[in-house]
Amino acid sequence: MLTVPSCVLARPLSDPPAMAKPLRWLAALLLLTLASAAPLSDSKRAVQVPVASHVVRLTKNTVSGSRTLSSTRIRKFRALTDGTASSAVGIATALPVHYQAEYLVEVNAGGNNYSLLIDTGSSDTWFVRDDFQCLDAYLRVVHVSYCNLGPYFKGDFPGGRIPEQHFNITYGGVDGPFLNGLMGYSEYALLPARELRSHILTRAAYSLTVAGVTIPKQQIALATLGIWTGDGISSGILGLGLPGLTEAFVGKSPIEDGLQNLVNYSPVVTTVATQLNKSIFSLGLSRNSSESFLALGGVPHHVKVGSYANVPIQKMPKSFGGSDYFYYALTPDSLVWNSSRSRVQQETLPQVIVDSGTSLNVFPYGEFCQIARSINEHFIPKAVYTTPLGGWFVPCNAKPPSFGVKIGGQMFWTDPASMILPEVRDLATGNCATGIGATDDGSLYILGDVFMQGLVAVFDVGPNMEMRFAKRI
Q: Do residues 358 and 121 lie in contact, with contact meaning Cβ atoms separated by under 8 Å? A: yes
| Helix (H), strand (E), coil (C) string for the chain | CCCCCCCCCCCECCCCCCCCCCCCCCCCCCCCCCCCCCCCCHHHHHHHCCEECCCECCCCCCCCCCCCHHHCCCECCCCCCCCCCCCCCCEECCEEECCCCEEEEEEEECCEEEEEEEECCCCCCEEEEEEEEEECCCCCEECHHHHCCCCCECCCCCCCEEEEEEEEEEECCCCCCEEEEEEEECCCCCCCHHHHHHHHHHHHHHCEEECCEEECCCEEEEEEEEECCCCCCCCEEEECCCHHHCCEEECCCHHHCCHHHEECCCCHHHHHHHHHCCCEEEEEECCCHHHCEEEECCEECCCCECCCEEEECEEEECCCCCEEEEEEEECCCEEEEECCCCEEEECCCCCEEECCCCCCEEEECCCCCCHHHHHHCCCECCCEEEHHHCEEEECCCCECCEEEEEECCEEEEECHHHHEEEEEECCCCCCEEECEEEECCCCCCEECHHHHECEEEEEECCCCCEEEEEEEC
Round to whole Å and give the CA distance between 412 and 454.
10
Query: Is residue 195 within 8 Å of 203, Cβ to Cβ?
Result: no
Active site residues: 119, 355
Identify the bridge partners of residue 363 per DSSP, sorted by sequence position: 438
